[in-house]
Structure 1
Amino acid sequence: MVEIFRVKLGEASRSEVFSQIEKIVKNKANFSPKWIATLNPEILLAAKKNLTFREILNSADWRINDGFGLQLWAFFKRKKIGERLTGVELAEFILEKAVKENCKMGFILNSEGFSRSEKLEEYLQKKGLQNYVIFANKKDFFLKKFSYPQNFLSCEFVLVGLGAPEQEFFIFRMVKKKNFSHLKLAVGIGGTFDFWTGEKKRAPYCWRRIGLEWLWRFFLQPNRFLRIWRATVVFLTKSLF
């Protein structure tokens, strides 16, 4: 098991992850809820300083490697890790399968973020999702009160877009709650909703294919420089040496 800052990295290929999710979607028998942590350099740097966060990440049923910095690290260290799979791609796959199987989905949204519930609802309806619940509130509300509407308890799949580490803390508590009896899978998907609602633009496929989505975002948002610096230079310096 390959680790960075004592956090276990994902080992599965994209096809293996998608295959496991498809099995979960089609599973109608009794099950225990699963959750996926999406790892990137910023999350790993935060986990380096926060033991509780690190333990929560390691408790995930699956971890996927979302971030070009992880692939660079593996290249320099000559380590084999799971393929890169972004939170956006993962969320889109889950949504597609949920629509096909008519599963109920829940969406946790940060009301102080860029995306609004109405825009997210428009996107979901365009995709053909009929059975869903959207719950938007401030990050502090979800962490301190851990409150949710009653109709959320019957959701089979939950996508949490609070950003790290808040979304991982929320999911960890949720999968431990016995009253989420229908829950099959929960995933922290960071800023995915911003792409779905059109608040932010994804990089063209050719940029994503070669791992330069971060550069595209920098062109659109130069104020992301410090985040990009941390996700590349700071991360690689601390993890390689």
Structure 2
Amino acid sequence: MDNQPIYHISQFPVLSTTRDQLADHLLERIVNHSKTVLFFANTNFIVKCRFVLKSLPDDKIVLVNDGIGMDIAAKLVLKSRFADNLNGTDFTPFLFDKAKVPLRVFLLGGRPEVTKRAAVHAEQVLGQNVVGFCDGYAGMRNTPDLVQKINAVKAQVVLVAMGNPMQEQWILDHRASLDANLLMGIGALFDFWSGHKKRAPAVVKRLRLEWLYRLYLEPRRLLRRYTWDILIFLRQCFKFR
């Protein structure tokens, strides 16, 4: 994206932009049949996905900041602030809402019952044209021609929900073979769309404490991410500043 600053956080070139500018850019690339990979770089991404650096620089791969940890790093290391806080959970429906016509969307990853309900939400609530979905368990194991299946339904957007770092690795491994214009790693988004997990109350989100709410709900799964991994993240930020 022209004239948008890039902040290097632990060697990762993270775009500083607003959700409006990012959505307009992605929708324009979809209309022009260009291909884009969008990764939401939070602290866990920085720690777990250093292999992504091997694919950079590449103007088809866009990294945007996700979460208060990235803001803290930008302030401490670069003395700067990101233009907006961007995360897949909020940005994806915003992108869909800005599209002038429904997008052809394929959902990949998640548990079978979760992905199926998420597909219904994307179609009935968000108004998109869900052309297919495949869960991240038996669905992927039993679909050896998955890329061909996605191409056959002419998906424009592929949402990959496998968590870091699996979703990023899958996207990088298959992006050349996929015809879709936009590939996004969106983490737990299907859990929220399906109602399997709850979003934090509005006041908690405004205070930028949704991470604490999620830790409260899933302490065993997320404790390391929000304690030890944060220390690793900060060490890497200062090491590669």
Q: Is the pair's TM-score, using the shorter chain for normalization, greater than 0.5?
A: yes
Output the amino acid matched with 1:63. Answer: L
Q: How many residues align?
A: 228
Q: How does 1:139-218 map to 2 (within 5 A)?
A: 141=140, 147-148=146-147, 150-153=149-152, 154-177=154-177, 180=179, 183-218=180-215
Structure 2 spans left out of the alignment, 5+ residues: 1-5
SS of residue paired to 2:121:
helix
Match of 2:17 among 12, 19, 43: 12
Change (3 A) 1:133 1:41: same
**Which residue does the alignment assign to 2:237?**
239
Q: Distance in 1 between matches of 2:169 and 2:57?
A: 12
SS of residue paired to 2:227:
helix
Normalized per residue, the structure richer in helix is: 1
- Shift of residue 152, structure 1, vs aligned partner: 4.0
Moved more, 157-166 or 224-233: 224-233
TM-score (norm 2): 0.81
- Shift of residue 141, structure 1, vs aligned partner: 4.8
TM-score (norm 1): 0.81
- Shift of residue 151, structure 1, vs aligned partner: 4.9
Q: Distance in 2 between matches of 1:188 and 1:117?
A: 15
- Shift of residue 37, structure 1, vs aligned partner: 1.1
Q: Identity rate of aligned residues, in percent?
A: 22
**Which residue does the alignment assign to 2:124?**
126
Change (3 A) 1:17 1:36: same
8 Å contact kept, 1:218–1:225: yes
Output the amino acid matched with 1:229. Answer: T
Change (3 A) 1:96 1:57: farther
Question: What is the root-mean-square deviation of aligned Cα atoms in Å?
Answer: 2.8
**Which residue does the alignment assign to 2:88?**
87
1:5-39 deviation line (CA, Å, top 9, x unaligned): 221112222221122133235x2x4x321111110
SS of residue paired to 1:132:
strand
8 Å contact kept, 1:9–1:82: no
Change (3 A) 1:156 1:95: same
8 Å contact kept, 1:161–1:190: yes
Q: Which runs of at least 4 in structure 1 moved beyond 6 Å after TM superposition?
A: none
